[in-house]
Amino acid sequence: MFFLRAAPWGAVCVFLAATVSASPYQGDPPALPPPPALQAALRALWSKSPQVQVAAAELRAAQARARAAAQPLYNPSVQLEAENADVDRRTAGASLSLDLFGKRRARMVESEAEVSARQAAYALERRDIAADWLKAWAGAVLAREQSELGKRRLALMGRFDELAAQRLKVGDISTSERDLAGLALGEAQIQQASLAGQEASSLAALATVGGDAEGALPGLPGVLPPSAASVVPLAASERPELLQAQADQDRAEAGVVVAQRARRPDPTISLTGGSVRSGTRSDRVIGINVAIPIPILNTGRAEIAAAQADADAAFASRRATTLRSDAVLKQTQVTYTALRDATVSFRQSRANAFDERAQTLEKLWQAGEIGTSDYLVQLKQSLDTALSGLALESQTWQAWFDYLAAAGRLTDWIDGPSKDISR
């Protein structure tokens, strides 16, 4: 894939470590910009993402419709007429319908609101793709580290099985204890196969988003992200999902105005000039004609009712989006704070000293101070704790990405503030 060939994974790790060690946000993204290689890689990811391409195409279509809406509503018509009979007639005329009720202006307002909605949708796609990529990366790192820990467990169980066979020969342990060692090795092999499958699934998820599943993944940065209090979320009205909802509402309300003005008929003015010849007499003629449609068969009221219903739906949708955005922001903040506090506590405890405990347990077992079953139970508990610690760190980083996305800060955190997201 393009990312790891254009910029090494180490650039990602350096970027994340530099970011979390920078000064906390003061309402704006950090002043320290990300490495240019990372910016280029993410822009390449966005440019190759089908979802972003769809959003970009829809934005271009909306901009084209806005340019079309700014054009005059009616084109002039030209008429030429000739008649040879008792009276010879030669006339030419032109006609033009006049936009007296502001139909063009109403269409322009509607199309401008659509452009705003498509711009917000484009920003949302970029944010979501970035969040998906970062979370998939954290998940792939977790799966790799869990698989590596599983390989260490498999090596320990293999060594334990060999030692148990040797001790059985000299009569230090019973046959049942020897069988326990063999069962533990078989269980470790089964669990390692499961971990390998999980690693393959996480790499496939990363490849789906756009990451390089074949490259070497760096570990998670040793420094945790900053606390949630250091991030100042954007105001609700400035978040991409609310911008899109508000633009959709504005577009629907403008559609009501368009429907109201469309039912008002515009007059068509025609101007005709020419000559009429009868026998030896020839006269010049000038005529003017005004035609106005009569809205009897189709009054346009149904279109207005439909547009008003769309506006009501857009208003309700914006309110629902506001409630959902605020709820997601609060939920992600609480989740991230809880996971980060738990990770800090885990790091400060002895729960993550797996290798040290494994060596101590083996020495105690070989010295006969603990039995085989006790050794296996304690080793399994130590391994489960170590695996849980890895999962906790990965979940903390994923919660950090979710919180930044909910706060409207993820794109700024990655790429810095952008004045023109359509570029």
The predicted-structure confidence for 336-377, as pLDDT tens digits, reads as follows 999 999 988 888 876 656 667 777 777 776 777 777 777 777
Confidence at residue 268, expressed as pLDDT on a 0 to 100 scale? 92
Given a cut of 50, whether residue 379 has pLDDT beyond it is yes
With 0-12 / 13-18 / 19 or more C-beta atoms within 10 angstroms meaning exposed / middle / buried, residue 342 is middle
Confidence at residue 216, expressed as pLDDT on a 0 to 100 scale? 57
What one-letter code names the amino acid at 113? A
Given a cut of 60, whether residue 6 has pLDDT beyond it is no
Mean pLDDT across the stretch 224-244? 88
- Structural domains in the chain plus CATH codes: 2-73+105-271+318-415 (1.20.1600.10)
Mean pLDDT across the stretch 106-133? 91
268-278 and 77-83 beta bridge pairing: unpaired
* Residue with the larger pLDDT of the pair 16 and 350: 350
Given a cut of 70, whether residue 33 has pLDDT beyond it is no
DSSP-H helix ranges across 271-371: 301-348, 354-366
Confidence at residue 176, expressed as pLDDT on a 0 to 100 scale? 77
268-278 and 88-97 beta bridge pairing: antiparallel
Mean pLDDT across the stretch 131-148? 83
Q: How confident is the model at residue 214 (pLDDT cuts 50, 70, 90)?
A: low
C-alpha–C-alpha distance, residues 33 and 176, integer Å: 62
Mean pLDDT across the stretch 50-66? 93
Given a cut of 70, whether residue 36 has pLDDT beyond it is no
Tracing tokens 């079953």 back to the chain, one arrives at 373
User: In terms of Cα–Cα distance, which of 117, 118, 116, 111 is closest to 71?
Assistant: 111
C-alpha 263, offset from chain centre: 41
Among the ranges 57-71, 287-301, 409-423, which has the highest mean pLDDT value? Answer: 57-71
Per-residue pLDDT of 81-114, as tens digits, reads 888 877 888 889 999 989 899 999 999 999 999 9
Name which of 42-46, 237-241, 396-400 the model is least confident about: 42-46
Tracing tokens 């899109």 back to the chain, one arrives at 244
Confidence at residue 187, expressed as pLDDT on a 0 to 100 scale? 78
Given a cut of 60, whether residue 5 has pLDDT beyond it is no
Confidence at residue 104, expressed as pLDDT on a 0 to 100 scale? 92
Average pLDDT, whole number, for the chain? 80
Predicted structure pTM score: 0.74
Mean pLDDT across the stretch 168-192? 77
Per-residue pLDDT of 265-284, as tens digits, reads 999 999 998 888 877 788 88
